[in-house]
Structure 1
Amino acid sequence: MKLMYSSLVLVTIFISTGFIFSTPSSIDFDTTIQPQTDFVLQDTSKEEEIEQIFTIVEQSPTYEGGMNEFYKYISENLVYPPNAKEKRITGRVFVQFVVDKDGSIIDAKVVKGADPELDAEALRVIQNSPKWIAGKQRGKNVKVRLNIPIIFNLDEDKPKRR
C-alpha cells in the first residue's frame, strides 16, 4: 500500500509539473520552437487607390476637339520617312498608348508594325501628341489604354507638299 501511495504521489508530481513520459524514439530533437507571430488585421473598409489601367471606362479619353482633330494633328505632324517613301513602302501601324490621369500620353508602343521606319515615325507622332482629356471611371480621372491605327499611304493623285 505504501508503494502504491508513493507511486501515486510521483505520478501526481509529474502530471502537475507538465512532465510527459515518452519513449526516446518519439522525441524529436531537431524540432525548433517557432516564435509566435502577431497577426495584424488591416482595415479594408478604406480601399487604397490602385494604379489600374482601364480599357473600357464610363467616359473615354478624348482629344481636345475630338478624333477628327486628332487625325488632323497626325496628318500635319507625320513626316513620311524619305527612305520608305523612296522605296514606296506603305502600311498600317497600330500604336498602343495610355492616356494618363492628367491627359498626357505614356507607355506608347507599336503593337503591329509595317516597317521599322514607319513604326518609329508613328510612335514619334503619338508620343509628341498634345494632352488629351482624361478618361473617367466613377467620376475620377483614370488611366486608359487605347489603340490607334496610323496609315502610311503614297497617294500620287494628291498634290505634293513642300
Structure 2
Amino acid sequence: MRFPKLFAIFLLAATTPALAQKPAKLKYPTDDNSRVYDAVEQPAVPKGGPQGYADYLASHQKYPTAAMQAKQEGTVMVTFVVEKSGSIGEVEVKQPVAPLLDAEAIRVIKSAPKWTPAHQKGKVVRQRVTVPVSFVLAEGSGEVVEVPAAGATKPGQPLPPGAVAATPGTTSVVGTAPNGAAIIRPEKSAQPVGGNAAFFAWIAANQKYPDLARKRKIQGKVPVEFTVQPDGSLTDVRVVQKHGSGLDEEAVRLIKAAPKWEPALYQGKPIKQKMALPVLFQL
C-alpha cells in the first residue's frame, strides 16, 4: 500500500525517538524573598552589639513576682526572625522553663530595639536568631510583697523586728517575706556617701583590671548585688551574671572593699536594704 506523502512525513515524526527532539530549557528556581536563613555571610547584629543587647535585656527584664516567690529560675531560649527592616518577628520559646518566665522572655525580646539586618551575597535577607534570656534569683529573692494601697503605714508605728527595705522602685509598702522577715518601703533608700558619682569614681580608681581579661580583651558591665547593712557596711556580695576571666572576682572584691554607704531609713531608723549595680570594666 502506498501512503500519501504528507501522511508519511507525520508517521516518521511520530516514531522518531525522544532523544532526537530539541531539549527544553531548564528553569532554575529564583531566590525566595521570604526565605529565612539560619546561617548567612553577614549575620544580623543587635543595636549596641552583643554586649549592649545583653545589657538591654538585663536592665529591662521584670522578674515576675509569682515566679520569684515560687523560686523559679533558669534560662529561656527564645528564637525569632530578624526581618529585612531590622524589626523582630515570629518570636517563640525554643526551650521553655516556666510559663511566667517564658512569657517575660518573649516580652523583653519583643520590646528590644531594631537590629541591623543580615546580608547574604550582598543582599538584605531574613535571619532566624536564638537568644538566651536568663532569670537568676538573688539570695533572699521573693521577699518583695506587692501592696496596692500606698500609705498603709502610720507615723510612729513601731519598726517591725528584722525589717528589710524593699527593692528601690517597687510599690511595696508593708509585707512579710516567706522567711518571716518584715518587708517595708523605706522613707529613704540606701546610697553611697557623696552620691553615685563619687562611688563609681572610687571604683574606677581602685579597680585592678585582671591580667587574663586584659589579655583576652574582655570588657563589659558585671552586675553585682549586695546588702547595705544598718551600719552602712556592704555584705552578701554576689555576681548576678558571670563574665569570667577574673572580672567577677574583681567586681566582688571592689564592692567588699568599698567605703560604707548611708543606710536606708524607716521612721528615722537605719535598716538594711538589698541593692544592685554594675561594675564597669573598660579597656
Q: TM-score, normalised by structure 1?
A: 0.69
Give the aligned residue type for 1:64: K
The one of the two structures with greater contact order (alpha-carbon pairs below 8 A, sep at least 6) is 1
Residue 123 of structure 2 corresponds to 140
CA RMSD of aligned residues (A): 2.7
The higher radius of gyration belongs to 1
Structure 2 residue 188 is the aligned partner of structure 1 residue 121? no
- Alignment check: 8 A CA contact 2:43 2:117 kept: yes
Residue 79 of structure 2 corresponds to 96
Structure 2 residue 141 is the aligned partner of structure 1 residue 153? no
Q: Map 1:11-160 onto structure 2 (within 5 A).
A: 44=27, 47=30, 49-156=32-139, 158-159=225-226, 160=274
Structure (1 or 2) with the greater strand fraction? 2
SS in 2 for 1:158: strand
Q: How far has the Cα of 1:76 moved from its partner? A: 1.0
Query: Deviation digits for residues 58-117 of structure 1, max 9, x if unmatched?
Result: 001001221000011101111000000111111110000000001000000001111000
Q: Gaps (5+ residues) in structure 1?
A: 1-15, 17-40
Q: How far has the Cα of 1:48 moved from its partner? A: 5.6
Give the aligned residue type for 1:110: V
Runs ≥4 in structure 1, deviation > 2 angstroms? 41-50, 159-162
Identity among equivalent pairs (%): 34
SS in 1 for 2:90: strand
